[in-house]
Amino acid sequence: MNCVWCDQQILLQLNWQQFFKANNSPALCTECRLRLDILSGDRCEICSRPTEKRICHDCQAWRNINWQRMNTNLIEDPLDFNISVFSYNEFMKDLMATWKYRGDYVLVKAFEQAFIKAFLEHFSDIGKDAELVPIPLSQERLLERGFNQSLLLAQLLPLPIREILSRQHGEKQAKKSRIERIQADNPFIIEETINKTVILVDDIYTTGSTLRHAASLLKQNGCPNVYAFTLIRG
């Protein structure tokens, strides 16, 4: 069995269309799969942060204060809940750096089985009428990176995708401090209203600012419920 991480020759020889048509066997070798940390056990019911508390301190703070800074008239947390699949350990950091910033988009195959399994476990009761909205990149960032990792993740899932958000260009999230992320203005623009339940799809939940900005805009424009499904809980 080839491993998309170990066997770099495979990545050089196959383009991504060919790779996705390959067999359905696990994309990582056993050793690499064991290095991925799938979240389990007690978690915050809002953000998936490992904790023994029902709602973690960060989400309590969001409910009390932070979303009011988003120029919204919502009186509650705009994000119903987030489910993340993996923790952000050192191996995942290496994988993400290679996937997102070096253009090795074929590495999405490494997450596919666990990502789909977690989605079916946690969102099967949401309903078939829900739609996926991937978190967009700005046009400048999309040209720089060559693909939107959130859209790639959404394309693994069995629900229709609506690309109804666009994003203003700004400094990379990874370069911002926690406080800067929380206090940032909403970077999103909504292209059309939506009156269905939405599941936002993104690669990583860090402070929740990005997802809550998107959720607040969706709810102000007719969306009754907004959930999030993210690959990683940072």
What are the tens digits of pLDDT across the range 30-80?
Answer: 899 899 999 999 999 999 999 999 999 888 877 766 555 555 555 578 999
- Mean pLDDT for 155-164 is 96
> What is the percentage of the chain residues whose pLDDT exceeds 90?
57
Predicted confidence (pLDDT) per residue in 90-122, tens digit: 999 999 988 888 777 778 888 999 999 999 999
User: pLDDT value at position 184?
Assistant: 67
The proportion of the chain whose per-residue pLDDT surpasses 70, expressed as a percent, equals 78
Q: CA-CA distance, 134 to 182, in Å (whole number)?
A: 20
pTM greater than 0.75 (yes/no):
yes
What span, in angstroms and rounded, lies between the C-alpha atoms of 66 and 59? 9
**Is 107 or 81 the better-scoring residue by pLDDT?**
81
Q: What is the mean pLDDT of the chain?
A: 84
Q: Identify the burial level of 102 via C-beta atoms within 10 angstroms of its C-beta, where 0-12 means exposed, 13-18 middle and 19 or more buried.
A: exposed
- The candidate with the shortest Cα–Cα distance to 227, out of 66, 45, 74, 51, is 45
Sheet containing 81-87: give its strands across.
Answer: 81-87, 226-233, 198-205, 131-134
> In sequence order, what are the residues at sequence separation of 6 or more whose Cβ sits closer than 8 angstroms to the Cβ of residue 117?
none
Residue with the bigger pLDDT between 59 and 82: it is: 82
What tokens were used for 86? 């993996």
12 pLDDT tier (thresholds 50, 70, 90)? very low
- pLDDT surpassing 90 at residue 218: yes
